Each structure stands twice: as C-alpha cells, then as structure tokens.
A and B are shown apart, each in its own frame.
Chain A
C-alpha cells in the first residue's frame, strides 16, 4: 500500500493558489481539443476565449495577492512553486499582455483567412511558461517554464508559413534559443554540483550553512556565468541579443508583440528569481556582469536603433535598450539582495515590466495596422502621412513612443524614473548617467517615427488604414493605461513597493 508508506508523503496541492496556471492550461486545452473536434468557431470566438482565459487567470492572481497579504508567503507543491506577490505581479503582467495580444491577433488572423485555435493555444501555453518562470522555486521547474515559453515562441515565430522571413525567424530563434537553453541547463547542473540541490530554498540554505565554500566555489561561479548566458539570451541583453532584431522583424507582428511583452516579463522574472532571490550570497560576483550587460545593451541598443529604417527592427533594437534599462534596476536590486530591507531595485523592475509590456503591445498593434494596409511593409515610409489618414491611431502611436522615450505624464517616465532612482539610491551613478545618455540617443529614434507619422505626407494612393474593432480596443486601452499611469501612478507603485518578501 503505497499510500500508507511512511517514506513518501505526497505533497499537498493547493488548487486554488495554482489557479492562474490551471486557468491558462485549461484554456489552451479547450482551444486545442474542442477546437480540433468542432467545425470553425464563429468569428472572433477563439480570440475571445483566449482573452477571457487571460482575464480569469489575471483575476485569480489578484485573489492570490489578497491571500498573500493576509496570510503571508508560502511555497506550493512541495516547495516547487513560490507563492508570493512577486509571482502574482508577474502573472498579472503576463495575463494583461496576453489579453491585449489576443485582441490584436484576432484581426490579424481573420484578415489573412487563417483563423484557428492553434495560435491562441500556443499563446496561452507560452503564457503558462512565463508564469511558471515567475513563480518557480526550483531551478528545474524554472527550466521547464523557460522551455514551455520558448518552444511555443519558436512555433509562433515561424507560424506565418507564407512569408519566408517568418520561417527564417523561426529557425534562427530555434537554433540560437536551443543553444542558449543548453548553457542555461548546464548552469543549473553546475549549481546543483556546488549545492547538492536544485531547490532555491535549499540552495540558499546550503550557502548559509557552508563555511567551506566561502563564496569561491568554482563550480557555482561557473554555473552562475552559464545561467546569466541563458537568461541574458532570453531578455535580449547584449551580447546575447543577436537574434532579437531578425526574429522581431521576421515574426508576425502580433507574435513580436507577444515576445516583447510576455517573453521579456518571464525572462526578467526568472532572472530576478535566480540572481536576486536564489544567489544573494554571490551578489558581488554577478553584479558587475549585469552592470556590463546593462551598459552594452543600453548603448548598442540605442545606437543601432537610430540607424534602422524598418520600424519593427527599430522597435526590436529599442527593446534591447529597454532591456538595458531593466538591467539597471536588476543591478540596483543586486546591491541589497538577500537583505531584510530590500531597496527600490526589485519594485522598479516589476513596475517597468508591467508598463513596458502594455506599451510595447500597443506600439506593435499600431505597426500591425499600418503593415496590413501596406502589404506587410513596416518600413518608415509606410508610416508617412498616418496622421492625415488616421489621426487617432497616430495619436495613440505618439503616446506609446513618447512613453518609450520616457516623457513625463506617460507611464514610460514612471518606469524610467523608477529604475534610475533605484540606481542613484545605490550610488550607481555611472550606470544612471549612461542610461540617461542612452535615453537621449534613443529619443532620436522615436522622433524619427513621429516625424514620419505627423510631418511627412504619404503617397496619394495610400488608403486609410482599416481599424478593426478588437485591435482598436486594444490600442485604445493600452494608450489610456499609459496616460493613466503617467498621471496617477501611485497605486501601482504602492503595489510594487509591497513586494518585499519572497517565498523560497
């Protein structure tokens, strides 16, 4: 009778606390199974089911948040998953982005006559992966989350079978992603070699009790280096960024929006889990590495963005520069990782991720509208005269671009202010100054797009962009959110600030 075996106690499963993950997986399964067995659903239903699933998952995360504020943090499923506000914040970010992307995707697919459940199911599976990355309390589970996210993204990048560039993007992403994942996995193995465990709580414990290691265990150090490689690849930090521009440009625009929002949020969540929460004892070892990655990403991302002529590619490089900004926050968080009174680094990163996700989905949604009107052309020329054809859409794009440039009264300012203030607080002045210089350079890029949109006139023959309902809703709500946070950021910053204790 196995059930009565004293040696094995099945871990309790806290079903309700696992709600967000369960909701996302069920949504994906419903889409796959029911979608495959039934004839084509009425228009838009696939997207609405996806959006609903994301909304439910996000709502459950909010319930979880309340539970955590009342009862404190804990771990789930035998210490495999962390149940803390950090995880819920990432879940909410991922779900919000998924919801917006689903709305944009609806029009994109139906216009092309390719409506079907597969893409949406993949979105939900990828979102599950990102949520798991944000709440993993075990490095192996974190790897599983990473692979769930990545494998879905490989397929999504290559999902437009009619465009060779989409397939090129898929294979490039796949080969390089697999390469980076292998390094990440090797990093886990080496950490395991140094600490005898893959569980984050036990890893911390082994450093606390170990006198011998003295923070100089080569196995662990090499492991950290390889973990940073894998995470740096996923967040698109220079020099592991090479795939980003090609894949962002080649993938279908709605998928690019998803990668830039959900992909980035999940990857940064994993980075914070691994570096700040699991490896505080090595903070002086990894912080300089993050510093260098941040500076390189800021400089190279901004500089290369300026010389591009394709808007999708520009936004890809700008996402690299944004990754640099977020790394500034990670670096700041590294200064007091593992201490009881955490600094502003962690909240600033979480805020940045949420705000940037919404922003970037909004930007790419506008790009997809314009591209569709111009036969898939996303060059700067396609944006000429947008203000005359579609002033509201041009206004929304301007809001997103101003926010990406960090102009006050938009959410982007709050995000950038947060990370730079965190860096200044930790007296990392050099990186704060570099970040601001990079922002100056990058401002020029956003200016270029705005000039094309507002000041230049397009070809006479260009038709007005069609703005389908659900994309319109997505763009409008993203822009409204961007402005709302710009004027009234208090509640969000308060929420982020309350993320101080982590389950481990």
Chain B
C-alpha cells in the first residue's frame, strides 16, 4: 500500500523548480541574516547553484542542451568568484582578524 503511494509521487519538473527556488531563497535569506563574510559568500554560491538546478531541470524538460551548457559556464564563474572573493576576504581578515560584515561600515551617508 505504502509502496503504491510512493510510486504515485513521480517527480515532475515543477518539483525541481520549487526545490531550486527554495534553495535560492535560503541563500538569499542567509546573506541577509549572517554576519560572517565567509558564510555570506557561501550563501551567494548557494544561490548560483540553486539556479543551476533550474537550468538542468528545464534542459531535461525541453530536451535541449542550452540549459546544461549554461551550467558549465555558471560553474566556471562561481569558481572565479571563489578566487576573487576569498582573496578579498582574506586580505581583510588579515588586517582585522574576526571582522564581521557589520564591522565594515566606515563608508556611509
């Protein structure tokens, strides 16, 4: 009986889209609420990868490769972003160990 119910839940593209949207939302929320620059940075990566899920799901649904190629490029971009982001964050942390995003507010007004 239970097995039948489970079998009835065939994941459709929409499922993946919702999953992706949820991941994206988690990433966005994380960026808003966390103070550690490294975690904020990871949240951005999460958002990018959430979009990748959308691309792949849609590509499978449409049966064309546009979405899947997009994922490759996004991965490259994300990697480049890691390099740049970590570089900047480390150079700041070296100067001010333990600094959070909220501490960096000298420029304002």
Task: Report which A residues bind B (CB closer than 8 A).
Answer: 140, 143-144, 147, 151, 154-155, 158, 161, 164-165, 167-172, 174-175, 178-179, 181-182, 185-186, 188-190, 192-193, 196-199, 245-246, 249-250, 308, 313
Contacts and interface: CB of A to CB of B under 8 A. Distances in A.
Contacts of B81: 147, 151, 178
Contacts of A144: 73, 77
Given A175-B101, A192-B66, A313 B109 contact: yes
Contacts, number: 115
A171 B58 contact: no
Contact of A172 (B48, B91, B104): B104
Given A147-B81, A175-B40, A167 B88 contact: yes
B44 A192 contact: no
Given A140-B70, A168-B107, A189-B54, A182 B44 contact: yes
A199 B101 contact: no
A199 B65 CA distance: 12
Contact of A186 (B54, B73, B105): B54
A174 B84 contact: yes
A175 B66 contact: no
Contacts of B44: 175, 178-179, 182
B92 A182 contact: no
6 contacts: A168-B105, A174-B84, A175-B40, A175-B44, A189-B67, A196-B64
Nearest to A250: B107
Nearest to A138: B66
Contacts of B109: 245, 308, 313
Contact of B91 (A158, A175, A181): A158
Interface in B53-73: 54-55, 58, 62, 64, 66-67, 69-70, 73
A179 B69 contact: no
Contacts of B108: 246
Contact of A168 (B41, B70, B87, B104): B104
Given A144-B73, A147-B80, A165-B107, A193 B58 contact: yes
Contact of B27 (A155, A164, A182, A190): A182
Nearest to A313: B109
Is chain A's binding surface mostly helix, strand, loop or mixed?
helix
Is chain B's binding surface mostly helix, strand, loop or mixed?
helix
A295 to B, nearest CB: 23
Interface in B22-75: 24, 27-28, 31, 37, 40-41, 44, 47-48, 50-51, 54-55, 58, 62, 64, 66-67, 69-70, 73-74
B58 A155 contact: no
Contacts of B50: 186
Q: Which of B27, B37, B104 has the most CB of A within 10 A?
A: B104
A192 B104 contact: no
Contacts of B106: 164-165, 168
Contact of A182 (B17, B24, B70, B91): B24
B88 A171 contact: yes
Nearest to A144: B73
A198 B66 contact: yes
Contacts of A192: 55, 58, 66-67, 70
Contacts of A249: 107
Contacts of B28: 179, 182
B54 A193 contact: yes
B94 to A, nearest CB: 10
A143 B73 contact: yes
A198 B70 contact: yes
